[in-house]
Amino acid sequence: MHARKAGENMTSVGIIGLGAYVPPHEMSNEDWAEIVETSDEWITTKTGMKKRRIADADTHTSDLAVEACKRALDDAGLTPADIDLLILATSSPDVPLSSTAGIIQHKLGCVDCGAFDINAVCAGWVHALDVGARYVGTPGYDKVLVVGSEIYSRILNWQDRTTCVLFGDGAGAAVLGEVEDGKGVLGSWLMSDGGGAGVIEIPAGGVRVPIPSEGFSEGMQYFHMDGRAVWDFAIEAFPQAVHGALARVGKTLDEVDFVIPHQANINIIKTGMEKLGLPMSKTFTNLHKYGNTAGASVPIAMREAFDEGLISEGDLVVTAAFGGGLAWGANVIQF
């Protein structure tokens, strides 16, 4: 990790293993059209989404995470016992408490390992990657497992056509460890605006509006989103995060080989890339297959971009995400 203050650890930290997992059950736009008033044409035009994966009723967020973690560990040639810390990015935890990261740690078999959750909604992955990279190389932390996992199908109101068709379930994970000097996670740029907290939220279920309570009304226990406000925020937050992260590590857009954005909406991605002055050939999208997988979308997309040969050793890659909080940010990674 670079750009640290004097006296701090200067180990170069990078992704040494990457894995992704999506549940097998597929749900198409036509399937949704049988449930709510919508159409394949409307969803495709507005979002670019065609299909998404939906977890079975007996599958939990932790279960998807475990599968992604296993694949990341295999990719790194490591075992669960090698992991010193597990960080989970999620906004759809198994339970409000205790930590879903702890549940994953137990299921995975990381026998001597700390674990905690990060909730930055769809920006969770870029936050978790930054935090995890700062641990590696400090005393007691050689290998850190960072995972984004979501089952939004379980927190959506399936009668709300403005939100229910947008999301899918999945998980992506990365093993972080020491890499060659000058490579790895060069730095990150993270930002929050709590003044926009109400733009994306589940209004009830916390201490503000318990379920049940005098202030609770049916439907408040589900995901709510102001679509227009999200659009206005995201088309500015995406390019701002990329610029901010590059400036922090002394890199320029001309040096960027590839950008992996949060898979929220194809039109947001196109607009963001246009604002950056970059062609769509320098980015990757898979939301037509999986919808918006929230905090899992960036690592799933990264794994698939590698599999398709779009990222190779020597490439400078920026991952950028934006979501509820409002929260947004980006990581700069030298492969």
Number of domains in the chain: 2
Give yes or no: 243 in active site. no
Active-site residue identified among 69, 110, 113, 122: 122
For residue 292, indicate whether it is catalytic.
yes
Which two tokens mark 306?
């590698």
Are 113 and 222 part of one and the same domain? Answer: no
Query: Greatest CA separation found in the chain?
Result: 60
How do strand 114-118 and strand 13-21 relate by DSSP bridges?
Answer: unpaired
Amino acid 9: pLDDT:
52
Percent of the chain with pLDDT over 90: 96
pLDDT (0 to 100) of residue 144: 98
**CATH code of the domain in which 228 resides:** 3.40.47.10
Per the structure, the complete domain to which residue 250 belongs is given by: 186-334
Q: Are residues 166 and 18 in the same domain?
A: yes
pLDDT tens string 310-319: 999 999 999 9
Tell me: pLDDT of 5 over 90. no
The domain boundary, picked from 165, 182, 199, lies at 182
Q: Looking at the structure, tell me whether residues 223 and 104 fall in a common domain.
A: no
**Mean pLDDT, range 217-242, rounded to an integer:** 97
Q: What is the pLDDT of residue 46?
A: 96
* Secondary structure in 3-state letters for the chain: CCCCCCCCCCCCEEEEEEEEECCCCEEEHHHHHCCCCCCHHHHHHHHCCCEEECCCCCCCHHHHHHHHHHHHHHHHCCCHHHCCEEEEECCCCCCCCCCHHHHHHHHHCCCCCEEEEECCHHHHHHHHHHHHHHHCCCCCCCCEEEEEEECHHHCCCCCCCCCCCCECCEEEEEEEEECCCCCEEEEEEEEECHHHHHHEECCCCCCCCCCCCCCCCCCCCCCEECHHHHHHHHHHHHHHHHHHHHHHHCCCHHHCCEEEECCCCHHHHHHHHHHHCCCHHHECCCHHHHCECHHHHHHHHHHHHHHCCCCCCCCEEEEEEEECCCEEEEEEEEC
pLDDT given for residue 4 in this prediction? 42
**Residue 276 maps to a domain:** yes
Strand partners of residue 174:
18, 146
**Residue 282 belongs to some domain of the structure:** yes
- Of 182, 217, 238, the residue that ends a domain is 182
Q: Is the pLDDT of residue 217 over 50?
A: yes
Same domain? 102 vs 134: yes
Q: Is residue 5 part of a domain?
A: no
**Residue among 29, 265, 286, 292 flagged as catalytic:** 292
pLDDT digits (tens, 9 = 90+) for 139-151: 999 999 999 999 9
Same domain, 141 and 224: no
Determine if the pTM surpasses 0.85: yes
Active-site choice (2, 60, 243, 262) = 262
Residue 265 is a catalytic residue: no
